[in-house]
């Protein structure tokens, strides 16, 4: 038996004369707030509200694993490929990285992974984690750094996968990273029928 459809959310539209082109949406308590320019017509408002609700739902569907899970995953990868020497204090998902897949700050031993990686194959996420873990031991992209990263067996394949996703995004072929989760793969297969 299918679950009943979720009720339509309460939407509050906030118009601003200072807002020129951008539209944004976020959840506030039990409603969705959509911010838009004051000059938009009612038709544009309806169009943008629908688009922003869809975008918000997509982003919430990609719920991030807890940082605890990510930190354990990093510890396991460090033990397996870096002799357990890379020990981050913080490993977390962030949604403000649009030009990088991950980043590392060795001084505070923190690693951040872009939420754009969510839904990609686990070996791609593991590659990015190993790459950032190696930065805890070697700051630059030196030969010693790449030797550590290349201990990960699928390093070259993961680099190629990420380069392909980046190229497709730049060409406008791919708006969002592919959803390679079992649910995403099933949805893609259903689209092919």
Strand pairing report for 102-105 and 110-114:
antiparallel
Q: Which of 13-17, 39-43, 63-67 has the lowest mean pLDDT?
A: 63-67
Torsion over CA: 65, 69, 71, 77 (sign): negative
Average of per-residue pLDDT across 172-186: 56
Give 154-171 pLDDT, tens digit per residue.
Answer: 999 999 999 999 888 888
Average of per-residue pLDDT across 77-104: 92
| CA distances in angstroms from 20 to 40, 146, 153, 160, listed in the order given | 10, 45, 49, 39
Q: Which H or E element spans position 33?
A: strand 31-37
Of residues 176 and 137, the one with the higher pLDDT is 137
Average of per-residue pLDDT across 81-89: 96
Q: Give the CA radius of gyration of the chain.
A: 20
Cβ-based neighbours of 188, under 8 Å, separated by 6 or more: 179
Average of per-residue pLDDT across 65-87: 92
Q: Which H or E element spans position 69?
A: helix 67-81
Q: Which H or E element spans position 24?
A: strand 24-28
Greatest mean pLDDT among 48-52, 68-72, 126-130 lies in 126-130
What dihedral angle (degrees, nearest 10) is formed by the CA atoms of 159, 164, 166, 172?
Answer: 180
The pTM of this model reads 0.60
Strand pairing report for 90-94 and 24-28:
unpaired
Domains in the chain, please, with CATH?
A: 10-61 (no CATH), 67-184 (3.30.2010.10)
Average of per-residue pLDDT across 46-65: 79
Give 97-146 pLDDT, tens digit per residue.
Answer: 878 999 999 988 899 999 989 889 999 999 999 999 999 999 999 999 99
Beta-bridge partners for 112: 92, 103
Average of per-residue pLDDT across 24-33: 86
CA–CA separation, 157 vs 4, rounded Å?
42
Asked if the model's pLDDT at residue 28 lies above 60, the reply is yes
Asked if the model's pLDDT at residue 4 lies above 50, the reply is no
Q: What does pLDDT average to over the chain?
A: 84
Q: Residue 101: phi, psi to the nearest 5?
A: -85, -30
């Amino acid at each position: 038996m299918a679950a009943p459809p979720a009720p339509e959310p309460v939407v509050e539209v906030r118009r601003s004369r200072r807002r020129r082109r951008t539209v944004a949406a976020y959840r506030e308590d039990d409603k969705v707030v959509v911010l838009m320019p004051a000059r938009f017509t009612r038709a544009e408002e309806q169009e943008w509200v629908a688009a922003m609700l869809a975008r918000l739902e997509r982003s919430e569907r990609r719920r991030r694993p807890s940082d605890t899970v990510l930190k354990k995953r990093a510890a396991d990868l460090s033990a397996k490929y870096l002799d357990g020497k890379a020990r981050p204090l913080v490993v977390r998902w962030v949604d403000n990285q649009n030009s990088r897949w991950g980043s590392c700050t060795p001084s505070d031993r923190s690693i951040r992974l872009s939420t754009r990686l969510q839904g990609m194959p686990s070996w791609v996420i593991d590659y990015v984690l190993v790459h950032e873990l190696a930065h805890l031991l070697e700051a630059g992209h030196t030969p010693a750094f790449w030797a550590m990263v290349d201990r990960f067996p699928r390093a070259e394949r993961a680099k190629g996968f990420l380069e392909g996703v980046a190229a497709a995004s730049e060409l406008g072929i791919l708006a969002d990273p592919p959803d390679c989760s079992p649910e995403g793969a099933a949805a893609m297969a259903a689209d092919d029928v």
